[in-house]
Amino acid sequence: MPFRLVPENLRLDFVKPRWVAFVASFVLLMATVILFFTTGLNYGTDFRGGILIEARAADAVDLAALRGKLGGLGLGQVELQEFGQPSDVLIRIKRQEGGEAGQNAAITGVRAAMGPSYEYRRVEVVGPRVGSELRQAAFLAVSCALLGIGLYVALRFEWQFGVAALVATLHDVVATVGLYSALRMEFDLTAVAALLTLAGYSMNDTVVVFDRIRETLRRSGKQATMRSVINDALNQTLSRTLMTSLTTISAVLPLVLWGGPALHNFALAITWGIGIGTFSSIYVAASMLLYMKPVRGIPSGLGKAAGAEPVA
């Protein structure tokens, strides 16, 4: 007998509290907009400009020990990651005050702290103009991904499904940007990777729900209402949705707790996004179909029954 997280005969009314969910989503998105225009994002070296140093040691680099040395230089947040081989390390340091002299002083301080045992293969200062171009490219990448997702769902199902999926996915991405702004987490190319990962994860959940809604529409009798179709589909997929979300969180949560500073922001954003994505798939995307009333592929008479369904 297969394991089910929720009872097989569960009959919850997910559509009834839709306005509570809509209001909660609206408040969350408005808070994100306010934070974005007041405190803004804590852009990392990739977007703000800064110093990039690629170095090679004779043996494998102890990143924790090296991070402790460089963290005491007063240069702000210093990012270290293994680059290619265990003996290679890539160091990112935020742009320092004092123009070119400030950058050179920081590089000199880093070299002194690391000692003579490293071979410096690349030392670059990324200017703010390059960072601005990267911000534009990142925004374009996320926008194209969202539009592509919406177009795919519109072609795979109906345009109403595509609009609902696009709104729900945009909701998840914006809410995650709000997390970065509220917690002052560094927003860099890793953050962009987290947003794109969440967009894909959220869409995966939404497509599963939409596919069940479409199948339920096809199987239902002529008297079936859109409200009952949505509730039946959500109850049937609830166990799968929760199991997938909890399994993914159980894999990501240890990275939040013990993954170290290099992975913490990425893992925290993914964990937050999984929760938000599950919420939006159930309460935002599905409930929006109640008002748009998809009709293609529905047996004769069901479209009218769905259209006659009162939304109150």
* Beta strand extents in the chain (DSSP E only): 42-43, 50-56, 78-83, 85-94, 119-126, 186-187
pLDDT beyond 70 at 303: no
The interaxial angle of helices 128-156 and 189-219, nearest 10 deg, is 10
Q: What pLDDT, on a 0 to 100 scale, did the predictor assign at position 47? A: 80
**Type of residue found at 84:** G
Pairing type for strands 50-56 and 78-83 reads unpaired
Judged on CB neighbours under 10 Å (0-12, 13-18, 19+), 132 is: middle
- Prediction pTM value: 0.76
Please tell me the least confidently modeled range out of 8-17, 214-223, 266-275: 214-223
For 11-35, the pLDDT digits (tens) are 888 888 889 999 999 999 999 999 9
Say which CATH topology domain 18-41+131-307 has.
Multidrug efflux transporter AcrB transmembrane fold (1.20.1640)
- The dihedrals phi and psi of 224, each to the nearest 5 degrees, come to -65, 135
Q: What is the mean pLDDT of the chain?
A: 82
Is 51 in contact with 78 (CB distance < 8 Å)? no
For 42-98, the pLDDT digits (tens) are 887 778 778 888 888 888 888 888 888 888 888 877 888 877 778 888 888 877 877
Domain locations along the chain: 18-41+131-307, 50-126
* CA distances, 114 to each of 81, 118, 131, 156 (Å): 15, 7, 27, 55
Residue position matching structure tokens 């935002």: 284
Residue 221 CA to residue 9 CA, distance in Å, equals: 20
Q: Which CATH number fits domain 50-126: 3.30.70.3400, 3.30.1490.70, 3.60.70.12, 3.40.50.300?
A: 3.30.70.3400
Domains 18-41+131-307 and 50-126 fall in the same CATH topology: no
Q: What pLDDT, on a 0 to 100 scale, did the predictor assign at position 294? A: 65
